[in-house]
Each structure stands twice: as C-alpha cells, then as structure tokens.
Structure 1
Amino acid sequence: MKLLKTIFLTTSILSTSVSFACLNGAEQNLSTGTTLYIDREGYVPYGHDFWLDLEGRDLEKLDSLYQVKPDVQYLTEKGLVLIIKKEYQKAIDLYLDIEKKNPNQYSTASNLGTAYELIGDNKNALKWIERALELNPDSHQKSEWIHVNILKIKLGQFPLSSNSLIHTDFGEEDYPKTELSKVKLEELIDQMYFQLNERKSFVEPKDEIVAQLLFDYGNALLLIDKKAEAKEVYEMALKYGFNSPLLQNRLELASVVEKESSSFQKIITNHWDTILISIISVVAFIFVLNRKNKKGRNK
C-alpha cells in the first residue's frame, strides 16, 4: 500500500506542469446574464477580454429591467456598456444623471472619472477619481492612488517618473532593487496589476505613462522571481514606447533565466515517461529490498 501511495504521489508531481498564478482571472457579468469580461489568470496584465454583444441588445434589456424595477444598478451597468462601446459622452451624461438622483455613489464617481479621461478631459477625470478615492479608498485593490498620480502627470502637476507614479523606484543597476518589505512589494504588485489591466483595456500603444508603469511593474516581478512574466511585461513596455539601456539589460536578465527554466521544463516534458519509470524502478527496488531485510530478521 505504501508503494502504491509513493507511485501515485510521484506520478502526480511529474504530470503537473509548473505554473505561477496570482488571484486574477476575474469575471464580471451584467444583470442580463451577459458576461461583460473575463480576465486571464497570472501576473501579466493583458487587459479585459470583453465578451459583450455591442449591437445594443444588452442596452435594451437593461432598460427593460429598469422599467420593471428602477434599480440604479441597471443604469450603472448601462453606463459600463456605453463605455465599452466607446460612447463616452452618453456614459458621462448617464452617470451625471445618476449622481443627481443618487449622490455619493463610489461606482458613479469612478466610472465618471474613467469616461472623462477617455474623452481627454483629465481635469474632470481627476476630480471624479479623487472623489471615488474618498468614497471608497479600499476599492480596486486600494490602487486608485496610482490613477490619481497618472492624471496629475497628464495635467502637468507631476513629472513622469517612477516616484511620481508609484512613490518608489527600483534603482539604476542592471538588476532592480527595492527598500520595500516583501509584504509592501506584493501589495504594490497587486495595485500596479489592477491599474495596468484596466488601462490596457482601453489605451493602445504608444503611451508613455503606460510604458513607464509597465517598466516599473516588470521590475517588481523580477524582484519576486517571476522572470518569465517580467520578460513579457518588459516587452509590453517596449511596445508602449519605453526604451532605455536599463530596460534592455533587465530584459536580457529575464530572458536568460527564462531560457534556463524552459530548458529544464522541456527535459521534464520530453522525457517524463523515462523519468517516471526510473523512479518507479528505484521505489520498487527499495520496497523489495526492505521485504527481504524483514524476512531475514524474522528467521
């Protein structure tokens, strides 16, 4: 029985691929039953994968639901649909009307800030994102302070830098460094991920602020040994317009380790049956040897 347990455990270990994933993979659904978006799991911010039917049926359904039961949630969801459809001014008008009827709602302030930013009105965007932060400082993984900094950079109130964006930097050496504790670094990673995932859903390359934030995020991932993910994020930073010798050096570091890791995983993948048979043979040999030793002692 112990032998069978050992073989089962060994088989399970070898047949499970090595992967890293944080608690992403978020999904948001409308009251109509339609999936608004699904996020991919992992540390790399790809942006939302929108599943929404853009032909207007969900808008009609939400209007019908509101007629039956005048719940502000239906209007809030309608505003989200309008934003995804890039009908930003309609979304702004709707949310301003919601604000008059139901003031001081976090979701209204947050969505107004987003819609204003998407039409280029950064002054009003900052006003509403700061209001959202006051109403619910814990929302969006406590990351809205980064959004505030982004808008202040856009308005020329702050220079574009790591310290202006995330209140820290990761040094000028080839390998990033930080004075943040492990807990604080992980919190910052969650916050940067959230802001980047939202931003990449709507902001196309090239964008210098997204590029800078991606570079900082890649540095943070490198520090927690997520090298393959850091490599992909650095490549995104390049695509968004961030280019410097420092990024190239860190990208090379992430690429070298990724190749070493990939080579090891390739060996396991290509020869797992041989490795498994070898381990089973060793376990079986030890089992038989132990049986013989027991019989010898019992004579």
Structure 2
Amino acid sequence: MKILLATALLLLASTAHACINEVGTDRSGRRFAPDWYLGDDFTEPMRKRDGREYALKRATETIAAARKQPSFASLTNLGVLLIYQGQYPLAIRHFLSLERRYPGHHETAANLGTALELAGQDHVALRWIRLGIQRNANEHLRTEWLHARILQAKIAAAREPDYLQRHSIAGLRFEAKPAPALPAVMPAGNDGQPVKPWELDRSLSYQLMERTQFVPAPDPVVANLLSDWATLNLAGGPLENADALYELAVDYGAPRDALMRERQAYIRKTIARAQEPEDATGDYSCAICWPRGQ
C-alpha cells in the first residue's frame, strides 16, 4: 500500500538511532539496544491506527491544497485521503485520471493498486502493484514485493478457503521449535533477488504499519503476516517485539496453538532470566535489525 504518512513513519524509523535506545533481549538471553521501540510501544501504532486518524484530521487542509494548486503531489495526497475515507470507487477514478494527466508515475500505480484491493478487485490490483515495481524497483523502500505476495495469497485463498492456514504469505519456513533459527531460504524482493533478514523485517514493518491502518481485526491476512513477523523477531530480533507481535496476531485471528504458547513461554522465561550487562550497547547486534543509514 502506498500511503504518504506511512512513508514518514518509515523515515522516522531510519533516523531513530539518534533518540531511541530501549534495551531488548535476544533469543540467547543477551541484552542489546535495537535502536527502536520495543514490546507494546512497538505495536501501538498498529493497534491504535494512528496514521488513519492523522490523515482524516488533515482532510480540510489536504482538500484546500489540491484546490489551490492541483499539482501531481497535491492531487496524489487528495487521492490518498479518499482511500482513508473509504471512498474506494472515487479513489480509483481519481487515480486513473491522475495516470492520464501525469502518466508513468510509480506512486500512482501503487496507490491505484491499493484502492483496487480495498475495493475487492485483487486481480486488477496485482497488475498495478507489479507495474509500480516495474516503474521503480525502489518502490516503498523496496518492500512492495510483499504487497504483491499478499494479493497473490488473497487470490489463492478465494479458490482454496484453507490456503492461509497452510501457507506463509511472506514465503517463510521456520523450524517448529520454541526458538527457531532464521529461515534458510528468503523470499525474492523487488529486484527478484532474495531479501536479507533486515530487509525482510523492514518489508513486514512497512507493509503492516500501512495495512493495519485500513484493515481492522480480525483479518486472516494480517494475522498470517503478524505471526511470521513475530517468529522472525524471535529468531533474530528483540524477544519483546516477538511477544507483542504474537499478541497482536492473536487479536487479528491467529490461533494461539501449542507452538505459539511454547514460543511465548520461552520468550518470557528468557527475558525474566536475562542478565543485565554493564553496557547493553556493546558489540551485541541482532540479525534483523536495520543497518544504520538504511
């Protein structure tokens, strides 16, 4: 999904090293500073859907700007507002008009794909999302490959009702253990090459921060993605985030099965027994943490 506010949130995340230094716990019980929010603070924007509320509060300003100077940027923002307002047919017409007026923009393709998906037209949405990637391989900080996989999964689930119970939308396979390792095989990104663990984390973060603004709980697609994101954090990130993401996944409809209970028990036991180091910012690192400057 292509929403300008979520882009701002991701830009904030990339510069958070200067101000956020909460201390987390890795799967071995070591403390480290992932340079970002942890636990419930980490999932709060998705629970509260803050991005949507912010956009709706700025509706008058957005409309006025588009009327005063109908540029590509202001008209794009107006179309995004229509999506936030739930006016999907109008948003589709708006972005088709924008494509005719300013042809070839990857932003338009991604926004149109989002509006079409929310209107229930997944097949057409997938074509526009793929077109957006073709127009700009860096689309959505190179995370739009996951949006395409989401649409493919939704199309498959329309044919096979139990598809999402048997498949990982992100294409991940974790060991069925309380503390699994990172997947041996990573999915292909925007450029067709396997993503790195930190790129996978960024893709799940970007796409879910946006999707949860539009899709309230329960929702099987979001539940599937959150479950994988939680396990990714368990395998290579802060355990505090893994636990909070599992809880949010359950809220979205993921079953709290025996394996999830085992994993959460492992998480909580490991956090409780973790030793406080003299310097949590030392040489510790996490496999999925975003490199500085990315």
Distance 1:119 1:161 in 2: 24
State the Cα deviation string for residues 152-195 of structure 1 (Å, max 9, x = none).
111117943686522321121222223259x8211211111111
State the Cα deviation string for residues 86-122 of structure 1 (Å, max 9, x = none).
2222211110100111111111110011111112111
CA 1:216–1:23 in 2, change beyond 3 Å: closer, same or farther?
same
State the Cα deviation string for residues 7-55 of structure 1 (Å, max 9, x = none).
xxxxxxxxx863645579xxxxxxxxxxxxxxxx975473352323548
Distance 1:80 1:223 in 2: 36
Q: Tell me which structure has the larger Cα radius of gyration.
A: 1
**Aligned position for 2:45:** 46
Structure 2 unaligned segments of length 5 or more: list them: 1-20, 25-32, 187-194, 278-294
In 1, are the aligned partners of 2:168 and 2:224 still within 8 Å (CA)? no
Distance 1:241 1:43 in 2: 19
Distance 2:177 2:58 in 1: 51
2:172 to 168, 172, 175: 168
2:224 to 172, 191, 212: 212
What is the identity percentage for the equivalent residue pairs of Structure 1 and Structure 2? 28
Q: Give the secondary structure class of the aligned counterpart of 1:57.
A: helix
**Aligned position for 1:285:** none
Distance 1:167 1:53 in 2: 34
**Aligned position for 1:230:** 242
In 2, are the aligned partners of 1:162 and 1:212 still within 8 Å (CA)? no
CA 1:53–1:142 in 2, change beyond 3 Å: closer, same or farther?
closer
CA 1:92–1:108 in 2, change beyond 3 Å: closer, same or farther?
same
Distance 1:17 1:117 in 2: 37
**Aligned position for 1:256:** 269
**Aligned position for 1:18:** 23
Structure 1 unaligned segments of length 5 or more: list them: 1-15, 25-40, 266-299
AA in 2 matched with 1:62: A
Distance 1:213 1:113 in 2: 19
RMSD: 3.0
Higher relative contact order (CA 8 A, sep 6+): 2
**Aligned position for 1:62:** 65
Distance 1:168 1:57 in 2: 42
CA 1:123–1:225 in 2, change beyond 3 Å: closer, same or farther?
closer
Pairing 1:104–2:108 present: no
